[in-house]
Amino acid sequence: MRNQRWVEISVGGFMLLGFAALLFLAFKVSGLAQSSEQGSFEVQACFGDIGGLKPRSRIALAGVTVGRVGKIDLDYQWLEACVTLQLDKKLMGKLSTDTAAAIQTAGLLGDNYISLTPGIDEAYLAQGDSLKDTQSALILEQLVNQFISNSTKN
């Protein structure tokens, strides 16, 4: 009787340990476990259309993740989406002020992310600066609608 109780407690503990490991892996894979404030600096970029871009979307430079999207707000003066980019602190003093930001799609139907292309200016981005050269998201639905409306006119 006592031996059976010990086996049940051991199995329960093993199950709890397994669930904790799965939870840890889920947070690690999703990127939610990373602290966004430490080791980063913020830069702004405004886009005409951000498509499906969301907070916590990745920011890539040469295909390598170098940051995450912070918050997304609407600029009521210009009616554009202004995105806060949280970039790795190691990039401060390395990205020029004419760096370009474009919203890309990972694969045909993948998530949107921001791709950075370094510029050649001799001045460098600092905390709170804004990127001027931006390219909005390519919306597949808009392209299909445009193609259909053009083909029906002919």
In tens digits, the chain (154 residues) has pLDDT values of 778 888 899 989 999 999 998 888 887 776 665 554 568 999 999 999 998 899 999 999 999 999 999 999 999 999 999 999 999 999 999 999 999 999 998 877 778 999 999 999 999 999 999 999 999 988 877 788 888 988 887 6
81: in domain = yes
Q: Are residues 61 and 2 in the same domain?
A: no
pLDDT value of position 142 = 79
**Number of compact structural domains in the chain:** 2
> Looking at 1-127, which runs of residues are DSSP E strands?
40-47, 58-61, 64-75, 80-88, 100-105, 112-117
Q: In 3-state terms, what secondary structure has residue 43?
A: strand
Q: Are residues 13 and 80 in the same domain?
A: no
Residue with tokens 């392209």: 143
pLDDT value of position 30 = 67
pLDDT value of position 36 = 46
Q: Are residues 122 and 52 in the same domain?
A: yes
Q: Are residues 48 and 27 in the same domain?
A: no
Q: Are residues 72 and 115 in the same domain?
A: yes
Asked if 69 and 84 touch (Cβ cutoff 8 Å), the reply is yes
106: in domain = yes
Q: Are residues 67 and 11 in the same domain?
A: no
Radius of gyration of the chain (CA): 22
Asked if 89 and 39 touch (Cβ cutoff 8 Å), the reply is yes
Q: Are residues 45 and 103 in the same domain?
A: yes
Q: Rounded to two decimals, what is the model's pTM?
A: 0.73
Q: Are residues 21 and 95 in the same domain?
A: no
Structural element, H or E, at residue 57: none
Q: Are residues 21 and 68 in the same domain?
A: no
Residue 2 belongs to domain spanning: 1-33
Q: Are residues 99 and 118 in the same domain?
A: yes
Q: Are residues 85 and 19 in the same domain?
A: no
